């Protein structure tokens, strides 16, 4: 299970098995989406499979997740998401009204994100060889001229911005799984982020890095950026927006909110001189109302993420090995 968790074991699978087998320079970028040239167009292209359990959870379902997740991966390259494909693997015996509700959520989320579902596929597997509904979405979008957003572009001195409170998706899933209840209603943050990214790019096309911290949470995303760019990242713990409900749930379960999945948040690396203006633009956008400056990119400890604790100390934020909770997305 750990190999699917978005942490070190996932990276091992990609670096050790898939990258050598498929080996090519585009794949080697290891960004949320690939940026490729096709004719005169510069395109972002991305894919994700969604196997979240349960199918319906507070704040959303596998349908909106599958749309927003791929829309967000495209947006993390600065692309304007345009077209999606959806491929369903249905388990024999799944109720038709479940399929209809999920399909309805896909359609509604696509309309909300301003993308067109252009093509699709459906396969059915025998009962006991699936889990109701799996969805794989892929997406394409145009990357505007002058935009070059990728993890390798993090630079010492960059401000690290987060678009809002973290941990809500992971805690929402936990709240309905395994009978855990935290006494507070927590809803997934699943949302499309392309509009927020557009607003940020209007301030400056020179955003260095964007990432949506899904599986593995903020910790995995920041570690990936630190490694790809050969820089260090220093977070200020009390600057990271953690809702009380998330803090309480994490304390109860012995988890660190930095490792909990998000589905409607982004982390941005921006040159210091643009940081205040970008942060202001984020806060004016509904998806960035809770945006915060949470740290900086540093020359020290390249490839490593540390957090300054409230007590004046620092601790290392490692890449997660596997996954705190399987099948979070």
For residue 97, the tally of other CB atoms under 10 A from its CB is 8
Q: Which two tokens stand for residue 139?
A: 């997406």
Q: Which is nearer to its own copies, 281 or 329 (CB)?
A: 329
Query: Is the C-alpha dihedral spanning 198, 43, 3, 180 positive or negative?
Result: positive
Q: What is the rounded distance in angstroms from the CA atom of residue 102 to the CA atom of residue 114?
A: 18
Shortest spacing between CB 52 and its own copies, in angstroms: 9
Residue 162's beta-bridge partner residues? Answer: 267, 292
Listed in sequence order, the DSSP H helices in 1-160 are: 8-13, 19-22, 62-75, 96-113
Shortest spacing between CB 124 and its own copies, in angstroms: 3
User: 109 in helix, strand or coil?
Assistant: helix
Q: Which is nearer to its own copies, 155 or 327 (CB)?
A: 327
Shortest spacing between CB 325 and its own copies, in angstroms: 13
Shortest spacing between CB 85 and its own copies, in angstroms: 4
Q: Which is nearer to its own copies, 3 or 285 (CB)?
A: 3
Q: Which is nearer to its own copies, 148 or 298 (CB)?
A: 148
Q: What is the rounded distance in angstroms from the CA atom of residue 254 to the CA atom of residue 257?
A: 10
Q: What is the rounded distance in angstroms from the CA atom of residue 72 to the CA atom of residue 167?
A: 17
Q: Which is nearer to its own copies, 13 or 277 (CB)?
A: 13
Q: Which two tokens stand for residue 146?
A: 């002058």
Shortest spacing between CB 222 and its own copies, in angstroms: 20
Instruction: Mark 298-325 as b/e (b = at least 16 C-beta within 10 Å).
Output: beeeeebbbbbeeeeeeeebebbebbbb
Shortest spacing between CB 78 and its own copies, in angstroms: 14
Q: Which is nearer to its own copies, 114 or 230 (CB)?
A: 114
């Amino acid at each position: 299970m750990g190999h699917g968790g978005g942490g070190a074991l996932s990276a091992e699978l990609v670096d050790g098995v898939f990258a050598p087998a498929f080996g090519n320079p585009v794949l080697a970028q290891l960004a949320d989406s690939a940026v490729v040239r096709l004719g005169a167009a510069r395109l972002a292209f991305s894919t994700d499979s969604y196997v979240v359990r349960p199918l319906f959870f507070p704040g959303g379902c596998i349908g909106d997740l599958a749309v927003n997740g791929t829309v967000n991966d495209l947006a993390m390259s600065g692309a304007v998401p345009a077209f999606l494909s959806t491929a369903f693997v249905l388990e024999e015996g799944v109720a038709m009204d479940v399929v209809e509700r999920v399909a309805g959520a896909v359609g509604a989320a696509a309309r909300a994100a301003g993308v067109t579902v252009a093509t699709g596929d459906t396969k059915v597997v025998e009962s006991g060889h699936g889990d109701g509904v799996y969805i794989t979405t892929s997406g394409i979008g145009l990357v505007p001229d002058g935009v070059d957003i990728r993890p390798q572009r993090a630079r010492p001195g960059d401000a690290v911005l987060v678009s809002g409170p973290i941990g809500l998706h992971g805690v929402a899933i936990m709240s309905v799984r395994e009978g855990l209840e935290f006494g507070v209603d927590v809803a997934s943050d699943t949302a499309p982020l392309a509009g927020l990214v557009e607003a940020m790019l209007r301030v400056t096309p020179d955003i260095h890095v964007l990432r949506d911290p899904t599986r593995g949470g903020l910790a995995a995303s920041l570690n990936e950026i630190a490694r790809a760019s050969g820089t260090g990242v220093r977070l200020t713990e009390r600057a990271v927006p953690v809702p009380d409900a998330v803090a309480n749930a994490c304390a109860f379960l012995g988890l660190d909110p930095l490792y909990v999945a998000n589905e409607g948040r982004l982390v941005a690396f921006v040159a210091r001189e643009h940081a205040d203006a970008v942060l202001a633009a984020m806060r004016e956008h509904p998806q960035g109302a809770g945006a915060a400056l949470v740290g900086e990119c540093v020359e020290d400890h390249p490839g490593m993420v540390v957090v300054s604790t409230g007590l004046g100390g620092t601790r290392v934020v490692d890449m997660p090995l596997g996954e705190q909770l399987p099948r979070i997305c």
